[in-house]
Amino acid sequence: MSTENTSVKQLINYFKNYFPLNSKERDELFLHFTERKVKRRGFILQQGDVCRHFTFVVSGCFKMYAVDKNGKEHNIQFAAENDWITDLASFYSEKPSQLYIEAIEPSVILQIKYPDLISLYINHHKFDRNFRIIIEQKFIALQNRVLQNISSTAEERYQSFLEQYPHISNRLPNTQVASYLGITPEFLSKIRKDLSQRSNP
């Protein structure tokens, strides 16, 4: 069995969490999704390029980030196994992206192009419903993050990060987590130390 078949079967299993696919719909995944291997620090999107793919992470881990005028990175989202990552604004508008999507670890992904995804929406309504739920969940997560940045302390934001990304929090360097939280790595170390002391008095 090819690795691509194995990857698509993982995606089929993923959809069981939503509206499970019938045999015809499962066949469509094999036709329209393409497997890609990405090295650590490899890019699947760079600023100025149009985001052409909706990406499912089979294995590995990615970060999506912006770079300010001083060259500082600001992490917006992480994605690891059984999660999606894409610049939705660029993907649907077909305009140049302001973001980067970079592999933090060696990764395997499945990608679908915009015309193929729209074709699935039109010809198989279950995909339309499934992806609507996926996109709604991403929007809710982003909205919650904006609210936390307005009203939560750094420690509260860190605890929310642990709840959102429990399976990758130990895989990310302090610098990546700190960038996501909008704090320095040193302050993140202090937060972790304080939480550890409180849980182990």
pLDDT tens digit sequence for 24-37: 999 999 999 999 99
Quick one: pLDDT at residue 1?
55
Residues whose CB falls within 8 Å of the CB of residue 58, separated by 6 or more in sequence, listed in order: 7, 10, 11, 35, 81, 107, 108, 109, 110
Give the residues of the chain that fall short of pLDDT 50.
none
DSSP designation for 167: T
Asked if residues 83 and 57 have their Cβ atoms less than 8 Å apart, the reply is yes
Asked if residues 105 and 63 have their Cβ atoms less than 8 Å apart, the reply is no
| Distance in angstroms (rounded) separating the CA atoms of residues 102 and 144 | 23
Class for domain 3-124, per CATH?
mainly beta
Asked if residues 132 and 125 have their Cβ atoms less than 8 Å apart, the reply is no
Quick one: pLDDT at residue 2?
66
Look-up of token digits 């929090």: 169
Q: What is the pTM of this model?
A: 0.92
